[in-house]
Structure 1
Amino acid sequence: MSAGLKALATCVAMSLAGGALAGSTSLRALSDREDLLGWEAVGRLDFAGQGYCSGTLIAPDLVLTAAHCVYDRDGQMRAVDQIQFRAGLQEGSAIAERQALQIAAHPGYRSEQNSNIENITHDVALIRLESPISSSEADPFVLHSGRNYGDEISVTSYGMGRESAPSRQRRCNLMGEYQQVMMIDCNVTFGSSGAPVFSMVGGRGRILSVISSGGTYQGRRVAYGMKLADRVAELKALLRRNPVAAPDRRIKRIRVGSGMNAGGAKFVRPGG
């Protein structure tokens, strides 16, 4: 664990002094369509055979995830045509699938650095899709606001060994907060990055945080996420300042040697 996370753990230990924690529930796979009802907006982000993360619709054409998910192993931002969002993916079948059109990773995130307080705080990204997913297919979740987190915090995610369907942990615990970072004892693993952490205030879950990284604390598996409201507002503003038009699918791609007289040109999608 990095020095920054050790500092967080120390603060968490102090905040928990004398306090009791409710037991976390185990993961439950949402393995059939009835289980998936209401959770269709959680999906898997696939990176052209180079791994995957979890993500969530917060608007018909906006997917919330972790910033580190949109960078490759070399620390370079992924090309949009390498990112596909598969809403409600379950045993190879998705409710809806869309290609990415635009990526906004928080400028405060540093892809070349390991997990630390500052990086976790800014480990947030938005992906705009080429076309919206209708609310009748997958109803987007809204962000939590305010200090009342409710009695239940839950996580719905994909992960290594359970990547073919989402798994939901109905109850886990907020173990502490330090600055803009939260420590929770939810069960996460590789692939759970970017997964939504829900507060169950007001009936339907509201997104409280997204999973940034995991570790252990006093022999318990823990995960770290960030407070979202300011980060997401900053990312939406970034997308508005840098608009990208969706490609016209009526225009066919012309390849060299296709027999069409295009002067040897090859037309590709923006960002392709």
Structure 2
Amino acid sequence: MTRGVVTQDPNGLRRSVVQIESSRGELCSGAVIAPDLILTAAHCVLQRAAYRVVLVDQRFRRFAVKAVAAAMHPDFVPGTTPRNQPGIDLAIIKLARPLGPDFTPLDPAAASSVAPGDFVNLAGFGLSAENRRGSARVLRQTRLISLGTLQVRNRVLVMADEDRLAETTGAGACRGDSGGPIVRGGPGSYQLLGIVSWSSGALKSNIPTACGGLTAVTPVAEHEGWIASRSDALRRYSAERGSSSAGGNAYDWTAR
């Protein structure tokens, strides 16, 4: 995340935001929505690969939990980039085991709409700048302002740095922040508002980049019904059966 602040409060967003890694090197972020469920972007879990979710404990020590299933939104269809993917860029990951009381799920049912001019917070484990790969895997957060909605191949909320408004490089999502949450509120009362789908460089950037300009977010309130129904289905997943009732998209998967 560009111009983000490293999260240091053990009782803050550390308790609700995770890193998602694939065995092929994909890096994304996600939001805890139940002790054994993570909400993220669908394009983050498309690869035929093994996935794990990485968390940090109260002392910011990292540990991983295996992902055993994923359900994509039924309208999601992969594209060449997240920006031109038709459908809804959301997925839910089922963990091999529940997280303990050290982690606090964000409730999608409590999501509300975001109006132009609203201030929100972005959290994720992405890069701090394009090509700065060593900066990833650290939880950062930053404040953004909502600019309204954009209809590309799907409907997203658009956020930007409140001072630079994406004209020049400012705060925003970068590679690895996809799937991370947009929230408002503070520790103990965070409200989940959306999930990052894609980001861009600043409008006046003179280098190719996907960082520091616009941050495009899938609004959770508009899809809370699907999140609730698929969460219920994934809770019934059985690793012993090797199957899940969470179908609905051809790209859904269960671990082998």
TM-score w.r.t. length of structure 1: 0.67
Distance 1:213 1:89, change over 3 A: farther
Map of 1:157 onto structure 2: 124
* Percent of matched pairs sharing the same residue: 23
Distance 1:117 1:182, change over 3 A: farther
Q: What whole-Å deviation, never above 9, does each CA across 1:171-211 have from its counterpart, x for those lacking one?
A: 21101114641110151111111010112289722111111
Gaps of 5+ in 1: 1-24, 73-77, 249-269
Say which of 150, 153, 159 aligns to 1:184: 159
Map of 1:99 onto structure 2: 66
- Residue 12 of structure 2 corresponds to residue 38 of structure 1: yes
Aligned-residue CA RMSD (Å) = 3.1
Shift, 1:232, TM fit = 4.3
Correspondences of 1:178-257 after superposition (within 5 Å): 178=150, 180-185=155-160, 186-200=171-185, 204-216=189-201, 218-219=203-204, 221-238=213-230, 240-241=232-233, 243-247=236-240
Computing the radius of gyration from Cα coordinates, the structure with the larger value is: 1
Correspondences of 1:1-272 after superposition (within 5 Å): 26-30=3-7, 32=8, 35-39=9-13, 40-72=15-47, 78-79=48-49, 82-88=50-56, 93-94=61-62, 97-116=64-83, 119=86, 122-134=88-100, 136-143=101-108, 144-147=110-113, 151-160=118-127, 161=133, 162-169=135-142, 171-178=143-150, 180-185=155-160, 186-200=171-185, 204-216=189-201, 218-219=203-204, 221-238=213-230, 240-241=232-233, 243-247=236-240, 271-272=255-256
State the aligned residue count: 213
Map of 1:257 onto structure 2: none
Gaps of 5+ in 2: 128-132, 161-170, 205-211, 242-253
Secondary structure at the residue paired with 1:173?
strand
Once residues 167 and 215 of structure 1 are traced to their aligned partners in structure 2, the CA distance between those partners, rounded to angstroms, is: 18
TM-score w.r.t. length of structure 2: 0.71
Which residue identity does 1:84 align to in structure 2? R
Secondary structure at the residue paired with 2:147?
strand
Which residue identity does 2:29 align to in structure 1? S
Once residues 90 and 83 of structure 1 are traced to their aligned partners in structure 2, the CA distance between those partners, rounded to angstroms, is: 23
